[in-house]
Amino acid sequence: MGKWKVGVISASDSIARGDRADDRIPIIRNLTRDWLDVDVAVYRAVTDDMEELQENMIELVDREKCDLLIVTGGTGLSPRDVTPEVTAWVIDRPVPGLAEEMRRAGLQQSRRAMLTRAVAGTRGNSLIINLPGNSKGVEICFNAIGDMLADALHILQGTGEANEDWGGLGW
């Protein structure tokens, strides 16, 4: 284990206050092991405050040097759901295909998936992904894009060979 450094931020007022346990982090740990053969290196629970979330996202990418930053929670329509807006401020370039695929997979389970505003993008040579705040949604969305994460990181960082089998589409 140890090819990439993975950070996770749980954006949740109740988890940050300690009012409830974070049931998402064990799922994310299992998924990063399954798909990337790495464990979560850095974990933070923060409130749904825009400044606090932005500060932590930048710190985990710029100072902690996380290659992959997963931000879970705050992607819905509630007034306190601000993760997509903060992510848009933090990223340099959007990667809409990842968010589109997560929504597509979610829609196979629930029509409510179309209400998620999750985004994905890059900051420098790091990948930032928003996941929903519920554990089932985390699993569905991560599994929808899990097979592309290693390729994305290889391409983004210019390390090793990315999978060139693009179905003969010449991508």
At 49-69, the pLDDT tens digits run: 999 999 999 999 999 999 999
Mean pLDDT, rounded, for 79-87: 96
Range of the domain at 82: 4-155
Cβ–Cβ < 8 Å for 158, 121: no
In a domain, 163, yes or no: no
In a domain, 167, yes or no: no
b/e 135-156 (16+ beta carbons within 10 angstroms → b)? bebbbbbbebbeebbbebbbbb
In a domain, 160, yes or no: no
Bridge partner list, 142: none
In a domain, 73, yes or no: yes
Task: Report how far apart the first and last C-alpha atoms of the chain are (Å, whole number).
Answer: 29
Mean pLDDT, rounded, for 12-26: 96
Average model confidence (pLDDT) for the chain?
92
The share of the chain scoring above pLDDT 70, in percent, equals 92
Output the six-digit token pair for 153: 């990181």
In a domain, 166, yes or no: no
Rounded to whole angstroms, what are the CA distances from 74 to 19, 21, 112, 116?
A: 17, 16, 15, 9
Residue 82 has pLDDT above 60, yes or no: yes
In this prediction, residue 169 carries a pLDDT of 47
The share of the chain scoring above pLDDT 90, in percent, equals 89
Q: Residue 139: give its domain's CATH number.
A: 3.40.980.10
In a domain, 161, yes or no: no
Rounded distance between C-alpha atoms, residue 59 and residue 121, angstroms: 16
Rounded distance between C-alpha atoms, residue 141 and residue 102, angstroms: 5
Of 12, 59, 26, residue with least CA distance to 142: 26
In this prediction, residue 159 carries a pLDDT of 80
In a domain, 165, yes or no: no
Rounded distance between C-alpha atoms, residue 156 and residue 146, angstroms: 16
Residues 6+ apart with CB under 8 A from 45: 9, 10, 12, 15, 16, 22
Helix (H, G, I), strand (E, B) or coil at 35: helix
Query: Could you give the number of structural domains in the chain?
Result: 1
In a domain, 162, yes or no: no
